[in-house]
Structures are given as C-alpha cells and as structure tokens.
Structure 1
C-alpha cells in the first residue's frame, strides 16, 4: 500500500516534516536530492521555488513543478523518524 501524506511542514534548510495517515512522522532532507539530482538544484537557484511545494490530490506525491517531485513512499522509507 502506498503511504498517504496527511500534512507537510517546511522546516527550512531544505527539510520537510511529513506526517502520514498511519501516524508515522519523518524529517526528509531534500538537500541530499539537490546534491544528486540535477533538476532539484532549481530549488536553490530559483528564488522562492522551495516554498512552492504542493501535495497532489492523491496525497502520494509532493511536487514543485513538472520536473521536481518526491513520491510519498520514498519520503516514508528514507525520512528520519521523529
């Protein structure tokens, strides 16, 4: 089953605090993706883009534009529990 996101809080420094429907809460460090995925570098270079994240209607993806997105299952698996 794909984990569904209940809420997202911007913790600055390119970190997202994510709460899932099952109660799991994680801190996901997007800076690791920025360092390894070329399109993610826009989150730093384009002023204000970082703050424009959106949760899709299915609540299984966080995205900024048509090239930058994070699947909920990746956030669930690789986020640090808090």
Structure 2
C-alpha cells in the first residue's frame, strides 16, 4: 500500500516535513539516512541541494536529482507524526482516487445528508475538503491506493 505524498518542505537540520494525501503530516530526519546510505551524504556537503527536494510525479516518493530519491514508504514508516490543524482532512480529488469514487458521488452524499457540510465536509473557494473519518464511516476503512 502506498501513502501518496502531497507536498514536502525542507526544514533546517536536514529534516523534511511531508504531507500525505490521507491527511497525515510526518517529520522525517534525514540524518539517519546519512549514516546508513553513503549516497545521501552529498546533501550534507550541499545544503542548497537538500533544499531543492520535490515530490516525484505521482506522489510515490521524493527526488533530489537523478541519483537520489526516497520512497513514500520509507517516509511513512520512519517519519514522526506531526499534529496540525489539518490532520484527517483531504481534498475530494484525493478521496475519490483513494476510494475509487466519482466526485459526483461525494457531492450527492452531501445533498442526501450522508456527509454533513460543516461537520464532515467543507468548501474552501472551489475546493471541497472531506474528513478521512467521514470517508471511512461512509465508504469503508480501506480505501484503495
């Protein structure tokens, strides 16, 4: 099972703040990799390159250059959960992908009262946000990835 990455922010002291599609944020300490995998040590010598990290196409890892990348599984398993006000929230687009639904299904769920506006879902501008717990309640715990 993949834990798709939405965004990454490099922090001082070689830490990465990683936001996942399922509404979880984790802090990953790169210093542990510097000890285990010599190739990553080049980031210590070049902090500007460390700061140039990006999410790979598809969200299944992070990349620095052609030689350095890091899987979403490593980040998920060895990152430390960070509490944020946005924990447990996800975009409709992510929810529909993970649960194999159409966005119209979620919109209908709101109109029928299965997903309650202001409690389970909320619209910010043009973007709908849904609580992961509400998705699990209405569509099952698994979701697909």
Question: Is this a same-fold pair by TM over 0.5?
Answer: yes
Q: CA deviation at 1:46?
A: 2.9
Instruction: Name the TM-score, length of structure 1 as normaliser.
Output: 0.91
Structure-to-structure mapping, 1:3-82, within 5 angstroms? 3-82=3-82
Q: Which runs of 4+ in 1 moved over 2 A?
A: none
> What per-residue deviation string (whole Å, max 9, x for no partner) do you get for residues 2-23 of structure 1?
1111111111110001110101
Root-mean-square deviation (CA, aligned residues, Å) is 1.1
Larger radius of gyration: 2
Unaligned runs of 5+ in 2: 83-145
Identify the structure with the greater helix proportion: 2
Provide closer, same or farther for how the CA distance between residues 47 and 6 of structure 1 changes in structure 2, counting only shifts above 3 A: closer
Aligned residues: 82
Unaligned runs of 5+ in 1: none
Structure ranking higher on relative contact order (CA contacts 8 Å, 6+ apart) = 1
Instruction: Name the TM-score, length of structure 2 as normaliser.
Output: 0.54
Q: CA deviation at 1:50?
A: 0.8
> What per-residue deviation string (whole Å, max 9, x for no partner) do you get for residues 12-44 of structure 1?
110001110101111000111012211101001
Identify the structure with the greater strand proportion: 1
